[in-house]
Structures are given as C-alpha cells and as structure tokens.
Amino acid sequence: MGIGQRAIGNKQRVIGNEQSIFAYCILHITNSITYRKLLIASCLLLITNYSNAQDKITLQQAIDTALVNNLTVKNEKLRTEYHQKLIKSGATIPATNIGGQYGQINSFYPDLSLGISQTLSFPTVYSRQKDLLTEEWKSSVLNLRIKETELKKLVTEAYFNLLYIQQKRRLLLENDSLFSEFLSKSILRLKKGESNILEKTTAENQQGQIALQLSQLEQDWEILQLQFQFLLNTSTIFVPDESEVFSQNISSLENAEFISHPLVQYWKQQQNIAVANTKVEKSKLLPDITFGYNIMGMKGMGANNVEYNSSLRFHSVQFGLGIPIFNGSQKSKINVSKINEQITGNEYKVNLRNLETNFAQAMKQYQKYQDAVLYFENTALENAETLKTTANKQFLNGEINYLEWVLLMNQAISIQSDYIEAIRNRNNAVAEINYYLNK
C-alpha cells in the first residue's frame, strides 16, 4: 500500500478537535494573567500533539505519491493508452461490396450472377495514416510527461509553503510567550503606579496582533493542506518533515540546455505531426484500387455449341483505378497543411525562447532571494538576537521603558520573519528552476 493510501480513522477526528480548541485559545485570550498562561500552555501542548498526530512526509515521498495518485496524471495516462490503441485504425478498409443479378442476362432464359468487390486506398495512404497516428501517440506521451513535470512543481511549491507556515507559526508562538510575560509585568507596574495605561494598552495590542496573525495562519494552513491533499489525491493529512535538508546547487546552471525538457520535445513533436499530416493529404491524390470477382450461370446453347443449364460456372475478375480527377479541394488541404508546418515551426521557436527567458528570470529571482538569505544568516539574525537580549536586559534594569522595548523587539521579530519569508521565496524559486530543468 502506498503512502497516499493509508487510512486515518479516528486520527482525523482528534485533529479536528485539537484545531477547534486551538482556535478557541487564540480568539478568547483574557486579561487574567494566570488564566492566560494556562491557555497559552494548553495551546502549545495541543499544537505539539496536533503535529505529532499527522503523518510526516518528505518532499520526494510527496512527489512520488502524487505521480501515482493524482487524477490529472491518471487521466493523461488513459489518453496516452487511447492514442496508442488508435494507431491500429490507420489501415481502415472500406466495407466489402457483395452483389448479384438475376434475370435475362444472356438470353431469353433467366440467369443468376453473383459478385464481390473491394475498394482499397493506395497502400501509401495506409502507411502514412499509421505514421500520423504514431506521431500523435508520441505527442500524448510527451503531454503526460508535461503534466507530471507540472505536478512536481505544484507539489514542491505547496510543500515549501506548508514548511513556511510551520516556521512562521513557531516564531509567533515564541513571541506570544514573550509578550505574555511582559504583559503581566506591565499590569503589575500599572498597579504599583510605576507605569501608565499607555504601556498596558500597547502590551495588549501587541498580544492581540499576534493572536490575529496566528488565527489567520491557521486558516492559511487549512487552505494549503486541502490543496496539498488534492495534489496527492489522498485523504491522509500529511505535513512536511522539517528535519529534511534541502541542498541547492544552482550556481552552475546559467547555460542550461532545454532540448530534453518535455515542453520543448512536445513543441518539436507538433512539427512532426504537421509534416506527417501533409504526407497523408498528399497520399490522397493517389488512385484508389478496386478488385472484384464474379460468377454466373447460363441456360441454353453457348458459343462453343454446348448447351448449359443454370448452374454457376462462368468466372470473371474485375480490376479498376479510382483516379481523383477533380482534386482541387485536396490540393487546398495540402497547401493548408504546409502552412500549418510553418506555424508549428514558429511556435517551437517562440516557446523555446520564452522558456529560456523564464528560466533566466527564475535564476535572477533565486539569486536575489539567496543573497537575502545569506545576509540574514551571516548578519541580520545575529543582530536580531542582540536586539532581543539587549532590550530585555535594559528593560529589566530600567534603562528603557516598555514602549522602547516594544520597538526594539518588533525590529528583531521583523528580521526573523523576513528571514523565514526569504527562505520561502528562495525555495519557490528553486522549484521554478527545477521545473525548467525537468527535475
């Protein structure tokens, strides 16, 4: 049984309940510090259980599952099989004509004549029709590969977006705990007269914004999860395996070749189909061939002075050619097919150029986001930690007030959030590049 076919049973009901409780925790935060801490702890516990209740899946496993289960790919496989079986219809033979005559054919006495005839197109017509159907089958095979390549890209993007939400959720929960602690301190300071209502209101606003972001993030997660399940065509709830390490080796791909890409091969195949179609139309100018056989009886005296009864005994064969004298319409079809050859040739060049341009843009996008990721990892993230540590220390020592602390903390959080966003954009750029490289 494949990964995408495992039943989830009661696990889905448990997950649904945990999601509902999580939403309740986010939307019903009160000003009671003790109660609030209890709720946050419960939320964190439920989220941990929620993650553990789902099946983890690696990117490659997700792609393999989708390639087996996805309905679009399955349908395209059936279409390929349809075109393969259609090749045999290239040599369709017209119906055989069987006829007879009865009456005064040779003399006053009634005679009987039976005949059978068959009209065939010139053999070249059948061979070229079979060639055309074979080329169309090859096109359907390439179209299947295109669908599979597109599916890989969609699954990869959905996978990376789910990873992004997991990381963003973790960041928000960490900051929720941090602001909860300082909200409680702000309330105590207000009671002791060490601060004013502005500090407490600011703390509550910060808390509310995090709660709202978490709520929206959960909705985004559910939407993406539905999309992910649809692509994999499974009822099982899968989550990305965060322990998976993604290696990018993009720097050496500036001069990539696209000849082997299914899209390029497909456009090239359209040219082959157009050429094969022209050959079929030309072959229809060849004559049709008719063969026939007749047998007849005769009653009376024959030319050889022998008297015959009515039994069937006289044989004859028939041969004919159906010459297309009025062929103006067929010649027009040939000319149209030649124009179509030019059209498919131009489409090949345009689409190939477009693919090369899109790949170059994807490389630029990757480099932009890769530079951003390196900046965050080498400089900004360390600065963010410094901001947090210093702000907390100075606030506890009374060197800065709460509003100043909030400003510094928001700068640090913004840096961490932008880093997660940069990773997401870089990963999606990698998915785009792998699509063009057919990986």
Tens digits of per-residue pLDDT, 139-165? 999 999 999 999 999 999 999 999 999
Give the whole-angstrom CA distance, residue 57 versus residue 79.
30
Written out in words, the top-level CATH class of the domain with range 3-436 is mainly alpha
User: Are 388 and 406 spatial neighbours (Cβ–Cβ below 8 Å)?
Assistant: no
pLDDT the model gives residue 194: 60
pLDDT the model gives residue 131: 95
Secondary structure letter of residue 52 according to DSSP: H
Q: Which helix (H) or strand (E) holds 102?
A: strand 97-103
pLDDT the model gives residue 8: 35
pLDDT the model gives residue 111: 83
The overall average pLDDT reported for the chain is 82
Residue 110 φ then ψ, to 5°: -75, 140
Domain layout of the chain by residue ranges: 3-436
User: Is residue 133 helix, strand or coil?
Assistant: helix
Please tell me the pTM assigned to this model.
0.77
pLDDT the model gives residue 190: 66
Q: Give the pair of three-digit tokens for residue 169.
A: 């959720």
User: Are 391 and 413 spatial neighbours (Cβ–Cβ below 8 Å)?
Assistant: no
Nearest to 412 by CA among 373, 393, 386, 374: 386
pLDDT the model gives residue 249: 60
% of residues, the chain, pLDDT over 90: 51
Kindly give the parts of the chain with pLDDT less than 70: 1-54, 183, 185-187, 189-190, 192-200, 245, 247-256
Give the whole-angstrom CA distance, residue 120 versus residue 16.
68
User: Are 210 and 172 spatial neighbours (Cβ–Cβ below 8 Å)?
Assistant: yes
Q: Give the pair of three-digit tokens for residue 126.
A: 């059948």
Q: Is 251 exposed, middle or buried (0-12, 13-18, 19+ CB in 10 A)?
A: exposed
User: Are 173 and 44 spatial neighbours (Cβ–Cβ below 8 Å)?
Assistant: yes
Residue 258 φ then ψ, to 5°: -115, 10
Q: Are strands 238-240 and 55-57 parallel, antiparallel or unpaired?
A: parallel
User: Are 176 and 211 spatial neighbours (Cβ–Cβ below 8 Å)?
Assistant: yes
Condensed to tens digits (0 to 9), the pLDDT of residues 291-340 reads: 999 988 888 777 777 777 878 888 889 898 888 888 899 999 999 999 99
